[in-house]
A and B are shown apart, each in its own frame.
With several copies, the nearest count.
Chain A
Amino acid sequence: MDYSIRITGEAGQGIQTIGDTLAKLLARAGYYVFTQQDYESRIRGGHNSYRIRFSAGTITASQAKIRILVPLDREGIALHGKELAEEGILLYDSVSLKEKLTGSRSLDIPFADLAISHGGNKIMANTVAVGAVLGVLGMGLEGLNRIITDTFQKKGEEIISANIRAALAGHQYAKENCPHCASVPGMAEDGKGKMLISGSEAIGLGAIASGCRFYAAYPMTPSTGIMNYIASKAHEYGIVVEQAEDEIAAINMALGASFAGVRAMTGTSGGGFSLMVEGLSLAAMTETPVVIALGQRPGPATGFPTRTEQGELGFALHAGHGEFPRVIFAPGTPEQAFHLTRKAFDLAEKYQIPAIILTDQHLADTTWSYDSLDLTGIEINDYRLRGEQFQALPEYKRHAFTGSGISPFGVPGEARHLVVTDSDEHDEEGHIVEDAETRIRMVQKRLFRKLPPLRKEIAPPTLYGHKKPVVLLAGWGSTFGVIREVVDYYAPVMDIAMLHFSEIYPFPATGQFNYLKLLREAELAVCVENNATGQFARLMRTETGYSFTNMINKYDGRPFSVEGLVEEIRAILG
């Protein structure tokens, strides 16, 4: 059981609602689900698509072959028709599309007419379509009816029952007119509901679970989802969410809040991050913890606002004037995003440094299914000096030289001690200095003392697949899902594995897991990156001297597809 549904249409036609509803129903029914959207930088019109793949086993990427195609626009037929599987079916409304298809693989369903006749309003055509898809799948309508009831609660009984009728009409029509559809199983075997979560939501949830209390940002695709999620929980968790006037303000607000004693975060995309770079350097100089979610999209400049790329690893690593340490995580899945966001907050606070969570539009917007996220050990280490404990100190210097190299960080106002910091080079108290001796000690404290323990915190890369691979596919960040599926694809015929890096900087040591040995022993070690220049391969060379045998790069603004990557690897294998 491994099916893909694709809904296509113009922006504003509602494919997102159809897709979200179906995906939720499938996950609730116990399937593993993976969804991926392709959309343009416009609000209405154009051509968008929503892919839902579901399966009885774990899935981490889309697949090209479509089992059910629901085009709400004619372009959907032209562009995606050829991807319809042999056993696939195309559900469409010939009246709305003003096009009549022939052949056994298409089913003309009068979505609009059924909506009018059963629901009383054309607006319910999408509900009819959802009902029809469920009909084709042989699934019942209970789940859908529940969702309808929840969604339209505020709109009243009337609307709810109209929608329920519309759904039923689509369902029946499909069942009656699609005889060979009966073969589709109606339920995943275990019957246990799955959760469905996007990368953005996972970061948001991770931030909340880290005790984040302040989030300031300026809207920018694909990072806005994080802000929206955190905002939706602001009342419940006591989080101040502030829309800043620009990204410079956003990071400086976060630093102000952090200095004042609460955990603070901001999020943006490359263009906004460019504007935050001076603030990043300020965080470093004042040793003020901050977490930054950087959702990459294709650049330079505005680029492709709604598409994906891994083009800013080098930038994230070197951003900011002057020399200072930082943490960079690039989660490969929502699950990793959740846990690494927590780790980012912890390390930022522990070492008083900035931590960057590097994602991209692909990870941000795809949704993944899990039985659950592991919440064991969800607790917060408070590294700040507060109240009694702070007041009890005989003396206090914000930037004191200490045995551990980490200076005590008191919360201003909680004691009579003053908390002073400065973007200029400063002394232990935090006041401006000009002398060479203090400078040297401060650089050592901020940089050299912190890096070695910080590096020890970094987990090694993940190995998936064969333990002594002949072919090793390396990746970082959002390519996790697709590489994993490609490994599964080739596993039956070769000793293949994935080496995935999600904790990127400080670059993982080899003590715990000698991944360099693995790379060197593989016959083919291919670095797969969703960018043009191979930034991770370059970092690997810089940090370890190791050069990959091959590189696969994609820079058209689209994520890798399983099929595409399979082909690229086949080409390398020769």
Chain B
Amino acid sequence: MPSLDDYKGQTPAWCPGCGNFGILKAFKDAMVEMGKEPHEFTIVSGIGQAGKFPHYLKCNTFNGLHGRTLPVATGMRLANSGMTVIAVAGDGDCYGEGGNHLIHAIRRNINVKLFVHDNQVYGLTKGQASPTSTETGKGGMKTKNQPFGILSEQLNPIALAVALDCSFVARGFAGDMAHLKEIIKEAAGHTGFSLVDILQPCVSFNKINTFEWYKERVYRIEAGYNPEDRITAFAKALEWGERIPLGVIYRNNRPTLEEQIPLIAETPLVKQSVDLSRIAATMKDFY
């Protein structure tokens, strides 16, 4: 059984007080509680503060490009469907640069767990608006590179995911580690593409959506809530502002991409040996 010590990675280069620390803690705790060994999973991360995540614990890691976590993770799962593959991305990373891959990863229902460190800002590049930033006119921040303010409507990733019939959609909060840990475990246990949008205060660049701001608004979704009804889930997804729901918002049991490919339904591709004995026979097709 792994212990927290097995998960000790490099010293984080995050700012003191950053919400990412809470996510890191919740994640490690979840892995330890699930008895997952570091070599049993791979994290694919992008570029941004969130992208540095895998360096700060221990696991197989592919820290790729900004915005491209999901295609890499998809290729990995198809090649090795025995491996747990986790994608860690920033809100800019995943909803901005990588938006198209999100749409299509959800459609594929590749069994990847996506954790978005959603600080509603571009952290690493010093405070530009991200897709989830609130419009300046609606109380959002001002940025240096947007002379007319943030004008695009704040993206609601949860509503987007529900609309795309995403297999598992949840929201967590870096300031509620215990709850977040449970969501991480639930996502990891779910079979199918899982999006967990994690509210993550950026203490350096987002002076609006602070720990306090979130704490005043978030609530754990009530017990009787049925996350399997898409219309209900859509309505729940639209909640934002005064009250922000935390927890599993939508879930279904669509078959995963991997399950639908007979070739790898039993044995991961990487475990199958290559047989070239039939090449000569195949060449005969051309006669």
Do the two chains touch directly in the complex (Cβ atoms below 8 Å apart)?
yes
**A interface with B by C-beta (< 8 Å):** 12, 27-28, 40-46, 193-197, 201, 205, 208-209, 211, 213-214, 216-221, 224, 227-228, 231-246, 248-262, 264, 271, 278-279, 282, 286, 301-302, 305, 372-373, 375, 378-380, 411-413, 415-424, 430-432
CA distance A279 to B72 in the complex (A): 10
Known: A240-B261, A244-B71. A380 touches B64 (CB 8 A): no
A–B complex contacts, Cβ < 8 Å, 5 sampled: A240-B78, A243-B146, A249-B68, A257-B78, A260-B76
Which of B60, B68, B274 contacts A418, CB < 8 Å?
B60
Q: Which residue of B lies closest to A198 (CB)?
A: B286
In the bound complex, residues from chain A placing their C-beta under 8 Å from that of B147 are 231-232, 234-235, 239, 241
- Give a binary string over B255-287; 1 marks a CB under 8 Å from any A CB, 0 the rest: 000000111100001101011101110110011
The segment from B8-16, B26-34, B227-235 found at the interface with A is: B8-16
CA distance A278 to B264 in the complex (A): 30
A246 touches B16 (CB 8 A): no
B283 touches A372 (CB 8 A): yes
A196 touches B286 (CB 8 A): yes
B286 touches A236 (CB 8 A): no
Q: How many residue pairs at the A-B interface have CB separations less than 8 Å?
A: 269
Known: A239-B147, A244-B71, A302-B66. 17 other contacts (CB 8 A): A40-B13, A219-B128, A236-B282, A246-B99, A252-B68, A255-B62, A259-B62, A262-B80, A278-B65, A375-B279, A413-B39, A413-B80, A413-B82, A413-B83, A416-B37, A421-B63, A422-B63
B58 at the interface (CB under 8 A from A): yes
* Closest chain A CB from B260 CB (angstroms): 11
The segment from B100-108, B166-174, B177-185 found at the interface with A is: B100-108
The segment from B40-48, B208-216, B238-246 found at the interface with A is: B40-48
B144 at the interface (CB under 8 A from A): yes
In the bound complex, residues from chain A placing their C-beta under 8 Å from that of B153 are none
The segment from B119-127, B157-165, B188-196 found at the interface with A is: B119-127
Known: A213-B79, A255-B64. A249 touches B145 (CB 8 A): no
Give the top 7 A-B pairs by smallest Cβ distance, nearest first. Answer: A256-B75, A252-B71, A253-B75, A234-B147, A44-B15, A260-B79, A256-B72
A259 touches B76 (CB 8 A): yes
B101 touches A245 (CB 8 A): yes
A279 touches B65 (CB 8 A): yes
Which of B13, B62, B148, B286 contacts A256, CB < 8 Å?
B62
Which of A240, A248, A257, A432 contacts B68, CB < 8 Å?
A248
Q: Which residue of A lies closest to B281 (CB)?
A: A236
B263 touches A238 (CB 8 A): yes
A12 touches B125 (CB 8 A): no
Which of A28, A211, A255 contacts B75, CB < 8 Å?
A255
* Closest chain B CB from A92 CB (angstroms): 22
- Give a binary string over B93-137; 1 marks a CB under 8 Å from any A CB, 0 the rest: 000110111011000000000000000001111101101000000
Which of B52, B62, B63, B100 contacts A245, CB < 8 Å?
B100
In the bound complex, residues from chain B placing their C-beta under 8 Å from that of A286 are 62, 64
Q: Which residue of A lies closest to B128 (CB)?
A: A219
B282 touches A253 (CB 8 A): no
Q: Which residue of A lies closest to B147 (CB)?
A: A234
Which of A238, A249, A420 contacts B71, CB < 8 Å?
A249
A245 touches B44 (CB 8 A): no
B61 touches A195 (CB 8 A): no
Q: Which residue of A lies closest to B272 (CB)?
A: A238
Interface hub of A253, A261, A271, A421 (most chain B Cβ within 10 A): A253
CA distance A416 to B58 in the complex (A): 11
In the bound complex, residues from chain B placing their C-beta under 8 Å from that of A45 are 13, 15-16
CA distance A237 to B281 in the complex (A): 12
B55 at the interface (CB under 8 A from A): yes
A238 touches B279 (CB 8 A): no
A421 touches B274 (CB 8 A): no
B283 touches A375 (CB 8 A): yes
* Closest chain B CB from A288 CB (angstroms): 8
In the bound complex, residues from chain A placing their C-beta under 8 Å from that of B274 are 211, 213, 238, 380
A44 touches B16 (CB 8 A): yes
CA distance A223 to B86 in the complex (A): 31
Q: Which residue of B lies closest to A410 (CB)?
A: B60
CA distance A197 to B122 in the complex (A): 26
Q: Which residue of A lies closest to B151 (CB)?
A: A242
* Closest chain B CB from A121 CB (angstroms): 19
Known: A254-B75, A256-B72, A262-B270. A246 touches B67 (CB 8 A): yes
Q: Which residue of A lies closest to B92 (CB)?
A: A219
In the bound complex, residues from chain B placing their C-beta under 8 Å from that of A249 are 68, 70-71, 74, 100-101, 104
Q: Which residue of B lies closest to A255 (CB)?
A: B72
Q: Which residue of B lies closest to A420 (CB)?
A: B61
Interface hub of A219, A248, A417 (most chain B Cβ within 10 A): A219
CA distance A264 to B72 in the complex (A): 12
B63 touches A241 (CB 8 A): no
In the bound complex, residues from chain A placing their C-beta under 8 Å from that of B131 are 245
* Closest chain A CB from B99 CB (angstroms): 7
In the bound complex, residues from chain A placing their C-beta under 8 Å from that of B78 are 214, 240, 242, 253, 256-257
* Closest chain A CB from B73 CB (angstroms): 6
